Structure 1
Amino acid sequence: MATAPGHLLGQIIGNVMEEALKPVLQDVAGRHDLYLDSKGPRPGVRPGTLVTWTDDLGNSHDLDFVLERGGSPRKAGNPAAFIEAAWRRYTKHSRAKAQEIQGAVLPVLAKWNNVKPTPAAVVAGQWSAPSLQQMRSSGFVVLHLQFPTTAKVFRDAGIDIEGLGEGTPDDFWQEQCDAYTNKSYAEKRELATALRTAHADEFREFVAELECRVVRSIDYVVVTPLHGNGTQYASVRDAIQGVRSYSCGVEAAPFLRFEIRIAYTNGDVIQATFGTLADAVGFLDTFV
């Protein structure tokens, strides 16, 4: 089935947004020793060209951008930020789109909670205040590119993304799609640059907030090896008596686990528990 012209124009706008956003994120990555993963081949790391991550249930989620710590073109790193870009023409659809973004990012975020990645969304068009707040309340860093400014950038490039309201005929939207398709590669790049320039202040605020969440260094690491078998007590009084009678000497006791606590300079804390030395070292290796 052919894609409706109005929907196709939305995809075009989304692509322009991604092209406008990518250099901004690449600059963040370059300045803070991060790797930016975006659509395109990445042999040895993932099949295909989509940025696909899985959640704890094995479900796949296609994302727009991921900032990684310790990543490279041929090596997957730990996620530092998951970033989605989205366009909405009418506010009445924005709540559903916000939920769609959350549905793509939050399950993957939960899987990688041990390294505390940051969720972020760059949205353009008409979004209701509750839909934006919905994402922020879930921990997202949100950049909203206001519709009037975005529409002017496209209008200056000969593309009308405002139309005549919800009753705009498909023929009109098709003309706008054709106007973009007929542009040269250089002209399409210029449109993305113009969009980024028109929203320069908003992009600066977004980057500042994103860096506050993502850029961090380890303050200290605590590794606690635990030994001895646990004892179950029927009451608090019995537990108190057990603690009082416990010997804290150096006699041998069976090893139980390693408890690791990593504290960062920005206040983030990562805690993990491992039953073997190899797993504990493997975990710590991901932060080297």
Structure 2
Amino acid sequence: MAQSASHKFGQALGKLFEDIVLDDILKPRLQQFAQTKNYYLDWQHSRPARSGKKVTWEDKYGNKHDLDFVIEIDGTDDQLGRPVAFIESAWRRYTKHSKNKAQEIQGAILPIIELHHLSAPFYGAVLVGDFTKPALDQLRNNGFAIIYIPYRDVVAAFKEIDFDVAFDEKTADESYTAASKRLASLNSSEKNKLRLALMRVSKQEVDRFMDTLRNCLNRFISQIIIMPLFGTRYEFENIDDALTELNTVDIDRPIGQFERFEVIIDYSNSDTIRATFQNKILLADFLRKLKS
């Protein structure tokens, strides 16, 4: 089935944003930060440590997701490191699609975060186009840092090269076809003007995003709490039995065998890691990894 003229133009516009916003604007900032911390920044390119060009990570269910950027500790070209930041992007022309896209990003990233929760990683999204406030709030409320470039800013940026992209669902196919041809024929000078225009309109968003990333990954441990728990396990089938037995427990003279270690790690930026370990070896291994 042939693509509609509007869909074809939208895809081409999305690819251009990917090249400019991700590759020309955000990636240099991420690379600069990663180099100062001796981290490894992975993006969609060939890397011996993985197959193909895609940056693919599994979630806690074993599902694989392709991402735009991942920052790793101890990563190299030849070796995957421990991931501490995940970043995904999306372009949407109409708000009616924004909620679904937000849910798609959330559904891909959060299960990965849950798998690597002991690293308390940073996660963010770069959104270009029309996204509703509820869609943006949904991501922010789930812990995402956001770079958002609204479609009105996109239109303003294109005006810098005398290119009107203020199209909507009523725009004729002929106009989309002509726009696609114009988009495909942009020269280096026009692309550079467009890059500078998008850099200006997105500067505040990108700066805020990088500050959040830096604050997350530059944090330091402010407190470590280790609680070895001993006791007798009681199991019940109903609330009444539990209440009855609770009245017989003598908390002044505790008895029982070792159950587990409860660990709380507090960071300078108010992040907290809570974990449970069944023995000293696993706990010690976890604490050593926090030093890296």
Flag whether TM exceeds 0.5 (same fold).
yes
Q: How does 1:127-276 map to 2 (within 5 A)?
A: 127-157=131-161, 160-163=164-167, 166-169=170-173, 170-180=176-186, 183-184=187-188, 191-227=194-230, 229-231=232-234, 234-236=241-243, 238-244=245-251, 246=253, 255-276=258-279
The yes-or-no answer on 1:71 pairing with 2:75 is: yes
Per-residue displacement from partner, 1:31-76 (whole Å, max 9, x unpaired)?
44543221112322x2221111111111111111123344343443
1:26 corresponds, among 20, 27, 31, to 31
Aligned partners of 2:160 and 2:197 also within 8 Å? no
Aligned partners of 2:231 and 2:254 also within 8 Å? no
Q: How does 1:65-104 map to 2 (within 5 A)?
A: 65-104=69-108
Pair 245,62 (structure 1): closer, same or farther in 2 beyond 3 Å? same
**d(CA) in 2 for partners of 1:30, 1:205:** 19
The yes-or-no answer on 1:17 pairing with 2:5 is: no
**d(CA) in 2 for partners of 1:235, 1:105:** 39
Q: CA deviation at 1:166?
A: 4.3
Other-structure match for 1:35: 40
Q: Which amino acid aligns with 1:88?
A: R
Q: Which runs of 5+ in 1 are unaligned?
A: none
Q: Which runs of 5+ in 2 are unaligned?
A: none
- Percent identity, aligned pairs only, is 34
Aligned partners of 2:160 and 2:194 also within 8 Å? no
Question: How many residues matched?
Answer: 280
Pair 73,222 (structure 1): closer, same or farther in 2 beyond 3 Å? farther
Q: CA deviation at 1:98?
A: 1.8
Other-structure match for 1:280: 283
Other-structure match for 1:54: 58
Per-residue displacement from partner, 1:111-130 (whole Å, max 9, x unpaired)?
22232223211212222222
| Superposition TM-score, scaled by structure 2 size | 0.80
Aligned partners of 1:158 and 1:179 also within 8 Å? no
